[in-house]
Structures are given as structure tokens and as C-alpha cells.
Structure 1
Amino acid sequence: MKTRQKALELLRTVGTLPDDRIDLAEAALALAVLDQPGAEPEPYRRHLAQLALDVADATQAAGKGPLPLSTRIAALRDVLYAKHGYRGDSDTYEDLQNANLIRVIDRRLGLPVALGILLIHAARAQGWGILGLSFPGHFLVRMDLDGERAILDPFDGAARREPRELRDLLKQTAGAEAELTPEHYTPVTNREILLRLQNNLKLRHLRSDRADQAVEVIENMLLFDPENPGLWREAGLLNAHLGKLTAAIQAFETFMVQGSKLGASPQLLHQTASLVQQLKTRLN
């Protein structure tokens, strides 16, 4: 229970931080603890530190001074995929373990976003420029150095992806008519990466008709993104579906407050207010 409480406190703290101060891997580790009762995070923190140290060691042979982008990418590949054996889980892609950082580290298998978090962690520990992209259906990362850019696929050994390959990947995930646009290359924030990680769990629970577990995932998401109106509305809808009327009302009312601040449509706000009145009537 103490470990779980620490994870909750860490995520609540993350919810108050500016995005650039979020420790992505540490937050993902806290989410994994909540998803796996009894897990102790310290051995996994040591592993994360070892990944960073191994990447630093891998670059020492390249000499002093700024390292070329290709050398940085090679070091990440050698450490994460060759030395530590990480790979994308193509065989059991839908397995919930693939979105839990603790189980990803245990199994050396994961989804693109979970493996991407490990790549980002190891690269940022060296002070290298790396970020996630808003590419749909398949998480990608981008590394930048002196005007040179490389888009890497964490699911495939950090392979470098060229525009033709990205177009093919997009069509696989978004349909044959989809075409690349600038928005597919838009960087995402640390919070958005964490949301993307947790969305994998939420959607799998919903597909398996486990709305109660999906609500738990959303509640954990709200710890680190408490001003997200969409999450509050989802929590309201799922709690109402589960018959948890008081929780649904509270979530909808929070949605209306946050939604009003962030420009939610008057129609949606009115619709939600009507839902709240209906739920309050059912409580009486």
C-alpha cells in the first residue's frame, strides 16, 4: 500500500508540473505500479539508470565533442535492442502487459509507445534532442541535431523511417485513402505520450467490456492531467453506464467547469447539464 500511495502522490505532483519538467519514464513507472499491485519500482529505476549509463558508455568510443546524429541513433539501438533485447511484441500485440512499463522491462516486449518512452529516457539522459510524434496508430519518435532530423520506429529496433515508409505505415493504420500531412509530424508533449500509453489500456478494457477497469485507467490519467475535460466527460459517461451516479455527476460537473475554461461548445455543455439533471433525478 505504501508503494501504491507513493505512486499516486508522484502522479498528482506530475499533474501540477509544467510539461517540460515531467520525468516521462518515472511517471510511466508510477502508472505501472498502480496497474500492478505489489510491484516494487526500485529495481526498474535501476534498470532505467543502467540504460542511460550503457548509452553513455557506448558513445565514449566515438571520442570527445558533439556526436553525429547517426552515432547517437546507433548507440540507442545497440543498447536497447541488441544488448538489452527489447523488441516490439508482434505476436501478442493486444496483451495488456505491453502498455505496462514494469512488464515491458520484465519481458523486453512492448507497444511502440512503451518502447518509445524507454528510447526517450535513454536519449534525454545524454542531453540529446528527442521527442514523440502525433503519428496515428503507431508511436514514432524524432531526433534532431543541427538541422538534421531522423524519425525512428521504437517498435522495430529504432529503424529510421523515410517518407515512403511512413506513408505505407499510415495506410496500414488509418486506411488506404490516408495521406501524410504536416500534422502527422507534430511533436507531442510528455503528458500526451502518457495519455497515449494509458489509452492503450483503456481501449483494450472497453473492447473486452470491462468498463469498470476502463474507469480506473481514466482516473489514473486524471492524476497527471487533471484539467483535461475530455477525460472528465469520459469518466462521467462510464460511471453513469456502471450505475455509479454520484461519481458520474461529479465527473460531469468537473467537465463543465474545465470545458467552459477551454472553449467546449455550448451545445455539449448544455447536453452535459441535462445529463446531470437526469442523474440527480435518479438519485432522489
Structure 2
Amino acid sequence: MTLPDWNSLATQADETLPLLETALLIARDEYPQLDADLYDTLAQSHAEHLRPEIEAIEAWPLKMAAINRHLFDELGYSGNHDEYYDPRNSYLNEVFERRLGNPISLAMVQMEVARRLGVPLDGVSFPGHFLVRLPVDDGLLVMDPFNGGRPLGVDELRERAKPHLGGDIPDDNALLHILDPASHRAILIRILRNLHGVYAEREEWDRAARSADRVLKLAPDQPEALRDRGLAYLHIDHRHGARHDLTRYLQLAPEAPDAHALHERLVELNAGGAARMH
């Protein structure tokens, strides 16, 4: 398996952006000796073990139940409830090896295996926890990979969305919109934003800056990533980079809630003398 080059991703269409390969590229930042072929082979072995059973089943929900049973019950993939914010939960090599992850990384394993078996499983950038969805005859089968692939009913989905919608319960149209499939780019950006949040909380500012920088490799000029990288640069005293990113953020999001405070920071930064490069 050949991993993509970071500098090629911004211009690549969402539908051709390789999900597994780019997720492993993210992991290689932290694990430079990562062997991508090992994890490609592991995902394929999971699929091949299931293939005879899946091919003998006709109904999509029953195919998916067999996949979930193998991944979560037999192989032991599970949500890391005890150490939810461990960064290893976001690195796919660690998820394959430890069989522990967060919602989005477990969804990626689930999607990778299902798709290799011809099951069109998609990710859902649901507020709160990432989910997966499968089209079925009468609508959508929505599942929670963090909790063993458990199917979720409409009422539970509404309740899960409610706290993220100002307390409003979404109607059918709003819920369907929330359940739209997430693009590969959106999935990868969400992984990186999770990593940025973990590293910022731990005050590991070099890794926080790196995570925001990788978002910008996927989506140049994304305002939040520019802000996040600029603030991380401030912490590691890369003032030239901080000045550039925060200036660009304010150009792109002049009405943002934090715009005034960051403008003040930028005034202080510009008054602080010449930038020092690190």
C-alpha cells in the first residue's frame, strides 16, 4: 500500500480521497516507522474471514449484523470508555493493534471491512459521537460503532441530537440532513480536530500545531484550523507563523465570536518586535 503525499490532498476530489491510506498517513506523523501494508493486510484478513458467510446472506441488515458480530464480539474491537481522550484512539494503527478506539476510528475499521465485502457502509458526522449508516429497503440502518455496532432507533437519534441543537428535537427532515453521509475529507478532518483537541488540552503544542497543519493540508484556508495552528504557534514562540495564521483567520472570519480577542492578541504580537523563526 502506497500512502499519499500530504501536498497532493488539497486538490484531490472528496470521492477519490483514499480513507484508509490517509488515516494511516495521519498516524505516520506519530509513528514514523509505521508499516501501512500490515494494516491493509489485517483489514483484508478480517474481510476474507467473513466473505463466505456474507456472500450467503441476502439482506443488508443481516450482512451487517454478521460483520459487527465478528468485529466486536469475536475480535474484540471496542470503544475505549475508560480512556476516551487517549490519542492512541485516533491513530488507526493503534486501533488495529489494541482493538480499542473512539467512535470515528472504530467506524473506519467497520467501514473498511464492510466495503471490502461489498456492503455500502458510510460514516455519519453526527453531533457528539460519530455513527455509521447503511441504506436498507425501508430507510436507513444507523449504528453506533463505539458501542458494538448497536442499531439506533429514531427516538434515540433525536435525543442524542437534541443537546447539540439548543435543546430542540429535530424533525424528520432535520434528522435526515444530520444523517447525510460524511465525505472522506470530513471524516479525516474530524480525526485531526479530535487530535488537536486532545493535544491542546495536554498542552502538547507542537503536536497540536501539527494536527491543525494537517487539516490545512486537506482543506487550505479552513478558518478554525488557521486559528488553532496560529494559537499553537504562539505557545511554541513561532511568532511569524502565529502572525500569518491569525491574520488570515481574521480575514476569513471577521465576525467570529473570538475575533475581537484575537485581534487584540495580534496587536500585541505585532508590537512585540521582529518575528523569530523556529
TM-score class, shorter-chain normalisation, is: 0.7 to 0.9
Q: Which of 206, 211, 214 is residue 205 of structure 2 equivalent to? A: 211
1:30-82 deviation line (CA, Å, top 9, x unaligned): 111112233322211211222333343331223xxxx3221221232133223
User: What is the TM-score with the length of structure 1 in the denominator?
Assistant: 0.81
- Measured in 1, the distance between the counterparts of 2:166 and 2:265 equals 38
Query: Match for residue 155 of structure 2?
Result: 164
Within a 5 Å distance, the mapping from 1:67-216 to structure 2 comes to 67-170=58-161, 174=164, 177=167, 179-180=169-170, 181-182=174-175, 183-216=177-210
Query: Match for residue 283 of structure 1?
Result: 273
1:231-251 deviation line (CA, Å, top 9, x unaligned): 112211221243211111232
- Measured in 2, the distance between the counterparts of 1:194 and 1:146 equals 29
Cα separation, partners in 2 of 1:30 and 1:278, compared to 1, 3 Å: same
Q: Which of 20, 24, 32 is residue 19 of structure 2 equivalent to? A: 24
- Measured in 1, the distance between the counterparts of 2:149 and 2:71 equals 9
Taking only aligned residues, the RMSD between alpha carbons, in angstroms, comes to: 3.0
1:96-139 deviation line (CA, Å, top 9, x unaligned): 21111111111111101000011121222234332222321111
1:260-279 deviation line (CA, Å, top 9, x unaligned): xxxx4468898677765653
Q: Which letter maps to 1:53? A: E
Cα separation, partners in 2 of 1:202 and 1:267, compared to 1, 3 Å: closer
Query: Match for residue 251 of structure 1?
Result: 245
Q: Which is worse superposed, 217-226 or 175-184?
A: 175-184
Cα separation, partners in 2 of 1:267 and 1:105, compared to 1, 3 Å: closer
Q: Which letter maps to 2:182? A: V
Residue ranges of structure 2 left out of the alignment (5+ in a row): none
Query: Match for residue 3 of structure 1?
Result: none
Cα separation, partners in 2 of 1:126 and 1:170, compared to 1, 3 Å: same
- Measured in 2, the distance between the counterparts of 1:200 and 1:68 equals 35
What is the number of residues matched between the two proteins? 269
